[in-house]
Amino acid sequence: MTSSFPEEVLEHVLSFLTSQTDRNAVSLVCKTWYETDRWCRNRIFVGNCYAVNPRILIRRFPDVKSIELKGKPHFADFNLVPEGWGGYVYPWVVELARAYPSLEEIRLKRMVVTDESLEMVAKSFNNFKVLVLSSCEGFSTDGLAAIAANCRNLRVLDLRECEVEDLSGHWLSHFPDSFTSLESLNMACLVSEVSFSALERLVARSPNLKTLKLNRTVPLEKLSTLLKRAPQLVDFGTGAYSAEFRPDVYSSLAGVFSACKNLKSLSGFWDVTPAYLPVINNVCSQLTSLNLSYATTQSPDLTKIVSQCCNLQRLVVLDYIEDTGLNTVSLSCKDLRELVVFPSDPFIGDVDVQLTEHGLVAVSEGCSKLHSILYFCRQMSNSALIQISKNCPNLTCFRLCIIEPRAPDYQTLEPLDTGFGSIVQNCQHLTRLSMSGLLTDRVFEYIGTYAKNLDMLSIAFAGDSDLGLHYVLSGCDRLRKLEIRDCPFGDKALLANASKLERMRSLWMSSCLVSFGACKLLGRKMPGLNVEVIDERENVNSIPEYAPVEKVYIYRTVSGQRFDAPDFVRIMGKDKDAVYNLS
Amino acid sequence: MTSSKTIVLRSSDGATFEVDEAVALHSLMIKHRIETGGADSTTIDVPEVTGNTLSKVIEYCKKHVEAPNSDDLKSFDTDFVKVDQAVLCHLAKASYYMNIKGLLDLSSKTIADMFKGKTVEQIRETFHIKNDFTPEEEEELRKENSWNLFV
């Protein structure tokens, strides 16, 4: 049957198809569709900056307006990736500047960004609009000054948990007086004080400003002045939220908050003075997102606030909220979709904070829309996990961090296999899982059997043997990211499932039992993979082949091996000069 | 100010449709033809569109011109594209040639929704597209795509 598909409208149809996965499928349908897609695909996402190189990207997609790049693997957040490993954005910026002068958006995660790169971005793209840097490092406030001074059409400058060499707050004053296009500014991770008058003037001349996240140095007493200039804000992060209580400051602040009719999201609240918390009472019912993870105050204060947030969808809070506070959440926040509870003192064994599995069970019972959980606690039981799995069959993300490694079910002293097994069995939409506690190979059997939609799995101090790894690699059809630390997984499972690794984005294994020999074999056998052994030991060259490596990071790539790796990173099994290029 | 003038539209297969000028002008192609046309601008040929499709296009234009602010416009649009994929494709093509932005967006978005979550094979099958890659070419492309296939 001949196609009646109207080729003339394909480009227009594609403009409504934004998911990269869908665009990829479309591009493989036939030759004309491939061509049409490549000419009009202007948003690109690169999940691993070493999986492809700029040249290949540019050759395929001639007209890119927005690019997102991710560098280091996720376990870098736990300091498991040594300094100097890689993830440099500079080589990308050089090529992007040459190929895409009308590039508008750059989003980077866990990459090393230098001032030089930022200066190049600032000078190369006339219509640059969006810069989002998440968990990046390597730059200073001088780089930010270059962006501020040169990007006339900037809309978004969003620095999320970056490590910035903070030379001074003067960078903010580099935004010219003629600059009025700002929509979003997140400087929460910076430490230096910025000129308050420069900040106030910037806010005053930015009518489209919707997001403003201040850093700690902006004092509470000055918040009214800023908010008065921007009552249209949707997302606001305070600075340090502490001051001596003064009724005039209090009522002024309460007044300006009440005037923010569009406010939906609040964060900040460093060093909170509880007496000032009620200024937000009038906006609580508007809030869909509340981040109190810096609010180091006791449960009653936190509870009072959340009890008024009847439309809350996302709550991030410290364990100071305790079970009682979470119980209030379960009764008051019926629209809750995402819950994050961080530990106030993760390195101390025993704390006087009453946050247990009961809090999480309560929320799972009361909040039927809950689909994402990140929960730090000190005790868990199989029965609680089973209850949670039954209460929340629509969970998509479940990350449980029991602080003590290998902690068993505190009631029965058994492993938590059946609890997590219940999670994967009942939650068929689960795409992300992070486990903790005492776990045997059994739990991996459950995962391999039931977690068919699992996309990312994080494992630590778990399992008894290679069988555990084998269950996961052979059973989880949709698994793309697997990260493992301190588990007795070794060569056998890895080599037996080598071809699976080519269908994943990456595998990280540290402090496991994978040998040098196996890594070399894998690297040789699989040209489509880079097998990086990351080992900082001094005597690493004299360690026998059968001995385990410190860390191995395996990822799919069409770019061949990389040449920017430091001494302690060895790309195994590849001829030094071979580059696996596709012509 | 609506005129009571009518226009006749003639499809590729000779079917004729008499419509109010205001309705016909919803198509920018027709608007252009009328404005640049000569003496006989009361019959306009639309050779890219068959009678069946033209009839549906006119139905769309009528609704959008005569009741643009009606509450049920959205549900009209939703129901309008509940047709089989062949008809949908013809509508998209017609709206492209006749330069009717609203209908082009509506039909294109509906087609895009049909692509969502589908595999390559499923898309080919739904729209009867012939795969003109050789197996080697296809394998090469999948490999090249792999860095962003399972992103």
Give residue A197's pLDDT.
94
pLDDT of B1 higher than 70: no
Of chain B, the end-to-end C-alpha distance in Å amounts to: 55
Interface test with chain A among B124, B148, B149, by most A beta carbons within 10 Å: B148
Separation of alpha carbons A137 and A115, rounded Å: 10
Give residue A84's pLDDT.
97
> Would you call A353 helix, strand, or coil by DSSP?
coil
Q: Which of A9, A21, A559 sits opposite B104 (nearest CB)?
A: A9
pLDDT interval class at A583 (50, 70, 90):
very low
Q: Which of A13, A29, A528 sits opposite B120 (nearest CB)?
A: A29
C-alpha distance from residue B112 to each of B91, B108, B127 (Å): 14, 6, 12
Average pLDDT over residues A215-234: 96
Average pLDDT over residues A77-87: 96
Sign of CA dihedral A29, A35, A39, A45: positive
Chain A, 37 to 56: residues with Cβ < 8 Å from chain B are 44-48, 51-52, 56
Of chain A, the end-to-end C-alpha distance in Å amounts to: 34
pLDDT of B43 higher than 90: no
The pLDDT > 70 percentage for chain A reads: 98
Taking only the tens place, the pLDDT of each residue in A120-144 is 999 999 999 999 999 999 999 999 9
Give residue A6's pLDDT.
83
Partners of B119 on chain A (C-beta within 8 Å) are 25
Taking only the tens place, the pLDDT of each residue in A508-535 is 999 999 999 999 999 999 999 999 999 9
pLDDT interval class at A580 (50, 70, 90):
very low
Contact between A506 and A556 under an 8 Å Cβ cutoff? The reply is: yes
Where would I find the H helices in A289-393? 299-306, 322-332, 357-366, 382-391
> Would you call A349 helix, strand, or coil by DSSP?
coil
Kindly write down the DSSP assignment for every residue of A69-110, as one continuous string: EE-S-GGGGGT-SPTT---B-HHHHHHHHHH-TT--EEEEES
Q: Which of A8, A15, A26 sits opposite B123 (nearest CB)?
A: A26
Partners of B81 on chain A (C-beta within 8 Å) are none
Give residue B110's pLDDT.
96
Q: Is A374 on the interface with B (CB under 8 A)?
A: no
Give residue A411's pLDDT.
98
pLDDT of A419 higher than 60: yes
**What does the block give as tokens for A385?**
């996990």
Is the CB of A9 less than 8 angstroms away from the CB of B144?
Answer: no
> Would you call A174 helix, strand, or coil by DSSP?
helix
Find the residue in B nearest to A47 (Cα): B151
pTM: 0.93
Is the CB of A9 less than 8 angstroms away from the CB of B143?
Answer: no
pLDDT of A154 higher than 70: yes
Average pLDDT over residues A317-343: 97
Partners of A17 on chain B (C-beta within 8 Å) are 112, 115-116
Contact between B25 and B34 under an 8 Å Cβ cutoff? The reply is: yes
| A61–chain B nearest CA distance, Å | 12
Q: Is A31 on the interface with B (CB under 8 A)?
A: yes
Separation of alpha carbons A253 and A276, rounded Å: 9
pLDDT interval class at B147 (50, 70, 90):
low
Taking only the tens place, the pLDDT of each residue in A3-55 is 678 888 999 999 999 888 899 899 999 999 999 999 999 999 999 999 999 99
The CB-side HSE value for B60 (13 A sphere, CA atoms) comes to 27
Q: Which of B116, B128, B150 sits opposite A503 (nearest CB)?
A: B150
Give residue A576's pLDDT.
55
Is the CB of A12 less than 8 angstroms away from the CB of B104?
Answer: yes
Average pLDDT over residues A187-208: 96
| A33–chain B nearest CA distance, Å | 10
Give residue B66's pLDDT.
87
Give residue B151's pLDDT.
43
Mean pLDDT score of chain A, rounded to an integer?
Answer: 95
pLDDT of A410 higher than 60: yes
**What does the block give as tokens for A144?**
């930010």
**What does the block give as tokens for A5?**
């598909």
Q: Which of B129, B145, B151 sits opposite A30 (nearest CB)?
A: B129
Q: Is A4 on the interface with B (CB under 8 A)?
A: yes
pLDDT of B40 higher than 70: no
Chain A, 496 to 555: residues with Cβ < 8 Å from chain B are 502-505, 528
Give residue A561's pLDDT.
87
Q: Is A20 on the interface with B (CB under 8 A)?
A: yes
Separation of alpha carbons A405 and A347, rounded Å: 12
pLDDT interval class at B3 (50, 70, 90):
low
Average pLDDT over residues A268-285: 95
Q: Which of A3, A21, A559 sits opposite B128 (nearest CB)?
A: A3
Taking only the tens place, the pLDDT of each residue in A47-76 is 999 999 999 999 999 999 999 999 999 999
Question: Which helix or strand (DSSP H or E) is residue A160 part of?
Answer: strand A156-160
Give residue A347's pLDDT.
85
